[in-house]
Amino acid sequence: MTEALALTALSKHTLAEDVTDRLRDAIFRGHFVPGQRLGEAQLARALGVSRGPIREAFNRLEREGLITSQTNGRSLVAQLSRRDLEEVYTLRLALERLAVQRATQVATAEDFAALEANTQALEAAVTRALSEEEAATLDIEFHDRLYRAAHHGQLWEAWANIRSQVYLFLLSRNRANADYRDRSIAAAHADLVRALRTGDQAQAVAAIEVHLRRAYEYIAQVFGEASGGRIE
């Protein structure tokens, strides 16, 4: 007779995922600054965990482009450069072209409702003093929902690997220029949703290309003003 296995319910997130989330958030909030060394032992003590989850978190954050590893084994907070912006932008453009092409074909009513709810939330937020972080979060969440509407698991994973860098670029741009509070981003998102609803791939691709090109140009201005072509 097969012996029954005693299994405990898995938590939604593993310990390493929780540590990753906390470190990512600390980087986003500026608690860890570009170029700062991150020590495994110190972080393990601060978070009350062993070094194992810290190492796993470092590996994940390195894949996301938020941490860099040196040959001596040290881990540093990444300092995003103009080259990083160029590479992330060109990759994102290719990914989102595919996302909108698929979304015109397979997006569900629930997908469109989620996209429109996000757009309405951003439109409402710009009427008040929304923060730089809130604006960047609502922006990135719209694109999360766009990728979800494509119903393509590998495409989502590719987006997840650059998502954190995109967020940092958006946040840096918002912190550098208060005009992020205007309605242009919400309007661009609304235009894209309308294009998706038509089912016309060419129209949807044109809409995302215009939107991302403008986003790139806005962010590139920050690098033009930053010392050494880097975001601090």
Looking at the chain, the domain(s) classified CATH 1.10.10.10 span 15-77
Q: How far apart are CA 53 and CA 11, in angstroms?
A: 15
pTM, entire model: 0.85
Q: Is 68 helix (H, G, I), strand (E, B) or coil?
A: strand
Second-level CATH architecture of 15-77:
Orthogonal Bundle (1.10)
Q: Which residues pair with 81 in a beta bridge?
A: 230
Residue range(s) of every CATH 1.20.120.530 domain in the chain: 82-229
CATH architecture classification, 82-229: Up-down Bundle (1.20)
For the chain (length 232 residues), average pLDDT per consecutive 10? Answer: 42 81 93 93 94 94 93 88 94 98 97 97 87 93 98 97 95 81 82 95 96 90 60 48
CA distance 43 to 52: 11
CA-to-CA dists, residue 112 to 5, 74, 98, 229, angstroms: 43, 44, 17, 38
- The per-residue pLDDT for 229 is 52
Supply the pLDDT for residue 9.
44
Please enumerate in sequence order all residues whose Cβ is within 8 A of that of 83, keeping only pairs 6 or more positions apart, or say none.
none
Would you tell me how many other CB atoms lie within 10 Å of the CB of residue 35? 12
- Quote the pLDDT of residue 8: 43
Could you say which DSSP state residue 7 is in?
-
β-bridge mates for residue 68, sequence order = 76
Q: Which amino acid is at 152?
A: H
